[in-house]
């Protein structure tokens, strides 16, 4: 579904509302968060949402993330809820979402998983990387593999970059892999295989990354904390303290430049409902 400008504006209003809920909750509980990924890029390059973006992303270092999960499980304000792998059957992500209850943001993936999804903000844990190159390579490879396989475990359909015959072959292969994973592994085992990538024996490297999703690159911890507030759609939200360093490590030296139109990705919702207030 391509969102028209008025619908995109309404969606962003809800996303901004969710960001404010997370911001207030974290401030009240002494939890450090920061806008991450595309949302951090939007803050620095656009002063808000990237013009074609239809989501919002928040990051937390692992210790803050674990505290957030415990506190937010039953502590979010009425009308908002926390989704995690552990509390939502069929949920594939190794990260959390804060959702606005009574809304709908359905994609082909969530439809294939058989779960309902509300309008959400993603909450990504940033994990420490080992200073040992072999351990670090293993961390990233294993975590990336199992975070991706989790989606194929939960659903026979995932979005692929190919179209036509190649795309059809890719989707057929996904169905086969989905069936094999369902036969060989339990849901608990999938998560255990992902979490096996988190610990390491060497000293911490001082670099962190989003092991719970496709690796965003090795980010110096010092680029993130202490965080600082920057303008985002007219309000002040926490961002990586050295946002230029953060974005350079995550997106490359040319992060200030707009990507070609064909590389501007969205979640492509197939169903969107703003709930009772719509």
Q: What is the pLDDT along the chain (278 residues), one digit of tens a residue?
A: 678 899 999 999 999 999 999 999 999 999 999 999 999 999 999 999 999 899 999 999 999 999 999 999 999 999 999 999 999 999 999 999 999 999 999 988 888 888 889 999 999 999 999 999 999 999 999 999 999 999 999 988 877 778 888 888 888 999 999 999 999 999 999 999 999 999 999 999 999 999 998 767 899 999 999 999 999 999 999 999 999 999 999 999 999 998 888 778 877 788 999 987 55
Look up residue 32 and give its two tokens: 């450090």
Model confidence, pTM: 0.94
Question: Can you give the pLDDT at residue 125?
Answer: 97
Q: Give the whole-angstrom CA distance, residue 237 versus residue 60.
A: 14
**What is the predicted pLDDT for the residue at 39?**
97
Q: List phi, psi (to 5°) of 126.
A: -105, 120
CB environment 167-181: b (16+ within 10 A), e (fewer): eeeeeeebeeebeeb
* All residues at 6 or more sequence positions from 173 whose CB lies less than 8 Å from its CB, including other chains: none
* CATH architecture under which domain 5-128+204-277 falls: 2-Layer Sandwich (3.30)
CA–CA separation, 49 vs 233, rounded Å?
Answer: 7
pLDDT at 277: 56
pLDDT of amino acid 168: 86
Which alpha helices (H) appear in 130-207, and where do they start and end? Answer: 133-154, 164-184, 187-195
């Amino acid at each position: 579904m391509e969102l028209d400008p008025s619908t995109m504006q309404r969606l962003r209003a809800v996303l901004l509302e969710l960001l404010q809920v997370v911001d207030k909750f974290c401030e009240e509980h002494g939890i450090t968060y920061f806008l991450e990924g595309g949302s951090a890029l939007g803050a620095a390059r656009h002063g808000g949402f990237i013009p074609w973006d239809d989501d919002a992303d928040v990051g937390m270092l692992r210790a803050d993330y674990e505290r957030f999960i415990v506190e937010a499980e039953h502590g979010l304000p009425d009308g908002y809820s926390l989704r995690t792998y552990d509390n939502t059957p069929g949920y594939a992500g190794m990260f959390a979402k804060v959702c606005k209850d009574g809304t709908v943001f359905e994609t082909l993936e969530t439809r294939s998983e058989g779960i309902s999804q509300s309008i959400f903000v993603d909450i990504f844990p940033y994990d420490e990387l080992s200073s040992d190159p072999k351990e670090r390579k293993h961390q990233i490879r294993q975590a990336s593999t199992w975070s991706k396989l989790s989606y194929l475990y939960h659903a026979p359909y995932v979005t692929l970059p190919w179209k036509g015959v190649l795309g059809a072959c890719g989707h057929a292969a996904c169905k086969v892999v989905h069936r094999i994973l369902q036969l060989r592994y339990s849901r608990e085992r999938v998560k255990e295989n992902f979490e096996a990538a988190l610990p390491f024996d060497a000293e911490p490297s001082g670099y962190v990354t989003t092991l719970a999703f496709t690796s965003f690159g090795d980010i110096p911890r010092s680029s993130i904390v202490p965080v600082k507030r920057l303008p985002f759609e007219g309000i002040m939200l926490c961002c990586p303290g050295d946002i230029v360093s953060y974005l350079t490590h995550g997106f490359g030296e040319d992060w200030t430049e707009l990507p070609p139109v064909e590389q501007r990705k969205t979640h492509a919702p197939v169903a969107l409902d703003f709930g009772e207030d719509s």
